[in-house]
Structure 1
């Protein structure tokens, strides 16, 4: 039987949950501001996959550039705890839709987008 192509979505955690979301995975280190735990409808929260505090501060500072952030975050994802959590998420994505949730204002240039690339790249 052929492996399922990962269906990985990236959405803001503040949006209305959809039945098409599948497993909703929060990928931010901190709980989203102003959003009650019950209202977030989060199924998993693998903190090992979140960027380090230092990397987040660097990226949101004056010198932060997306391509360099992608490189640095990729290096963090290679650490043992993150690699284990990433492998688990990749496996989950081969079986069902996974929606990565972030409070980031622009998810397309966030760690969630990098994480989606990592998950989808696993099948290539």
Structure 2
């Protein structure tokens, strides 16, 4: 986990064990995570629309050397998704919120970029 400006807002791999401390749980991936049954995911929402575009995700391919450019391009996409971002921040203002993602790399993924973007929006 990483420190956040909004202590109600955190990110977590969906493959990690569910915790009541997660609070409201939103999956932020465009594609459903492999090996997770929908009934076992314990989601409150699935916001596919906040994930990077399919073309950006495929271009990035989780290649570390592309992360900085991926981050810039994803932030650009996020700037066009104000309404969805406001919904996420509204939940985080009133309760604990965990943004769930499936990527194996816990430091270089879209959830890290989104968390930083949201914290800078507060």
Could you tell me the TM-score, scaled by structure 2's length? 0.88
Gaps of 5+ in 1: none
Classify the secondary structure of the residue corresponding to 2:91. helix
Classify the secondary structure of the residue corresponding to 1:24. strand
Contact 1:10 1:107 survives alignment (8 Å): no
Greater C-alpha Rg: 1
- Distance in 1, matches of 2:44 and 2:62, equals 31
CA RMSD of aligned residues (A): 1.9
Contact 2:13 2:103 survives alignment (8 Å): yes
- Distance in 2, matches of 1:41 and 1:53, equals 25
Contact 2:62 2:108 survives alignment (8 Å): no
Q: Is 1:66 aligned to 2:73, yes or no?
A: no
- The residue aligned with 2:76 is 75
- The superposition leaves residues 20-74 of structure 1 with CA deviations (integer Å, 9 ceiling, x where unpaired) of 0011110100111111001111111111101011000111176961111111001
Runs of 4+ deviating beyond 2 Å: 61-64
- Distance in 2, matches of 1:14 and 1:61, equals 18
Gaps of 5+ in 2: 1-5
Contact 1:58 1:64 survives alignment (8 Å): no
- The residue aligned with 1:113 is 112
